[in-house]
Structure 1
Amino acid sequence: MLLPLTIILVILLTSSNYIGAWLQDRRQVAMLWMTASALLEAASFAVRILWSSLPGLILSTVGVMEAIGFIWMACRTTRGRRVPPWMVLAPGAAGLALYLALGFGDHPDLRVVANNLLAALLFATATAELLRGGGDRLVSRWWVAGILGTESMVCLGHALVVARLSGGDPATDAAHRGLLFIALSSLVLMMLLSAGMVALVKEQTERHHRRMAGLDALTGLGNRRRLNECLEHAVPQAGRSGRPLAVVMIDVDCFKAYNDRYGHLAGDGCLRAIAGALQGGLVRRSDLVMRYGGEEFVVLLPDTSAAEAVRIAERLRLAVRGLGLPHAGREDGVVTISLGVAVLEPGAGPMDGAALLGAVDLALYEAKRRGRDQSVSYPHMQPEPVAITAP
Structure 2
Amino acid sequence: MHSYKNVKNFVNLLDELNFNAIYLVSYAESKTIYQSKVLQQYSTHKQLDSTSLLTSFTKDYNKPLKSPTNEPVKDLIDLAHERGIKVFFWYEYGFMGDIKKMEENHAILSKNPQFLGLGNDRKPTNYHQKDYYFNAYHPEVQKYLLALVEEGIKLYPNIDGIQGDDRLPAMPKNSGYDEFTIAKYKKENGGKLPPNDFNDESWTNWRLNILNDFAGQLYRRVKAVNKNVWVSFAPNPYPWSKDNLMQDWPTWLNNKFCDLLVLQCYRYNSKAYKETVQQAKNIVKQSNPTQLFATGIILMEAGNIKMDSQLLKEQIAINRSLGINHEVFFYNDALNDPELKATFKEVYPTRALFPRN
User: TM-score by structure 1 length?
Assistant: 0.24
Which structure has more RCO (C-alpha within 8 Å, separation ≥ 6)? 2
**Structure with greater proportional strand content:** 2
- Determine which structure has the larger helix proportion and give its number: 1
